[in-house]
Structure 1
Amino acid sequence: MVHFVNTHSDVRALASDLSLAVVRLTRHLRGRRAESQISLTQLSVLATLGNEGALTPGTLAAKERVQPPSMTRVIASLTDLGLVARDPHPTDGRQIIVSLSPAGHALLADERSAREAWMSDQLAGLDTDQLIVLEQAVEILNEIVADSE
């Protein structure tokens, strides 16, 4: 392992290595869902609804960083699959509220379970020090993502 000196070139090299590692990890995690009936975009929307609860399409589009017309199409496709419910907004008759249906909750749980099972198998082969480093890395990555939102 190379010790980090914290020069501009060291930071760029780390950024490159980390980006590539995340892409490769993502590819492996995507491989766990070969039989999935939904796209990654649809899965992301379901995960946001699972984490945030019911949302308006506009709020959902903002959280997913997509344009409202694109979110409208995603919501329509998820509604057709029975994975989300669309209900009238309680105070604004022009709006709707989108929430996970029971089938959406079940599919999200299945997707999460497949990824977690694969990741658990990979982590089982690591020693305690490596697990501690990964735990710290998760905290740092979550901070980076939170700071950019």
Structure 2
Amino acid sequence: MTDDSLETARRLRLAINRIRRLTRQAGEPTGVTRSQEVVLLILRREGPLSTAELAEIERVRPQSMGEIVRGLVEIGMVVKAPHPTDGRRELIILTRVGRAVVERSSAERDAELADLIASRLDNDDRATLDSALEVLERLAADR
């Protein structure tokens, strides 16, 4: 690890955090914690998963994920269903309400970020951002 890599990592982390703060309030669903929102987003992207699979994706203890899922069940955002091949497990499934909440939240955040890009970046900067996104997507990809 070089000093250049450390400086790049620091700048990237700070920029991501600033952008997240700028867009967080736009699409923040009411009555849902950030951890719960992340689970809703995962379920929208991946489809039904077990609590253990959600915990693995988020790199948290299964017990912690169980608490998050229980909260989502209580407010009607997800339901539990028997696993089709393993009777000891349950799948966590997004409800219509949960899907609507996460889609509205995502659309609002995307619109807010699009407005930031349109208002703060010129065409050259947007082209540079598009190129950088390819690199960032490779960096973020599962190995």
Q: Are 1:127 and 2:125 matched, yes or no? A: no
CA distance in 2, matches of 1:90, 1:35: 31
CA distance in 1, matches of 2:29, 2:141: 31
Deviations 1:45-87 (A, max 9, x none): 0000000000111111101111100111111100011001110
Say if 1:131 and 1:106 are closer, same or farther in 2 by CA, change over 3 A.
same
Kindly indicate whether structure 1 or structure 2 has the higher relative contact order, using CA contacts under 8 Å at least 6 residues apart: 2
CA distance in 2, matches of 1:95, 1:54: 12
Q: Which residue of 2 aligns with 1:67?
A: 61
Given candidates 16, 23, 47, the residue that maps to 1:29 is: 23
CA distance in 1, matches of 2:76, 2:123: 43
CA distance in 1, matches of 2:85, 2:138: 35
Q: Are 1:144 and 2:139 matched, yes or no? A: yes
Q: Which residue of 1 aligns with 2:48?
A: 54
Say if 1:68 and 1:35 are closer, same or farther in 2 by CA, change over 3 A.
closer
**Structure 2: which 5+ residue stretches go unaligned?**
none
Whichever of the two has the greater Rg, that structure is 1
Q: Are 1:19 and 2:10 matched, yes or no? A: no
Does structure 1 conserve the Cα–Cα contact (< 8 Å) formed by 2:27 and 2:106? no
Letter in 2 for 1:138: L
Normalising by structure 1, what TM-score? 0.87
Q: Which residue of 1 aligns with 2:37?
A: 43
CA distance in 2, matches of 1:70, 1:8: 36
Letter in 2 for 1:57: T
Deviations 1:91-146 (A, max 9, x none): 21111011110001100011101101111111112222111111122221121121
CA distance in 2, matches of 1:27, 1:53: 27
Identity %, equivalent residues? 35
Q: Secondary structure at the match of 2:7?
A: helix
CA distance in 2, matches of 1:108, 1:12: 34
Count of equivalent residues: 142
RMSD: 1.7
Q: Secondary structure at the match of 2:141?
A: helix
CA distance in 1, matches of 2:87, 2:105: 34
CA distance in 2, matches of 1:76, 1:11: 40
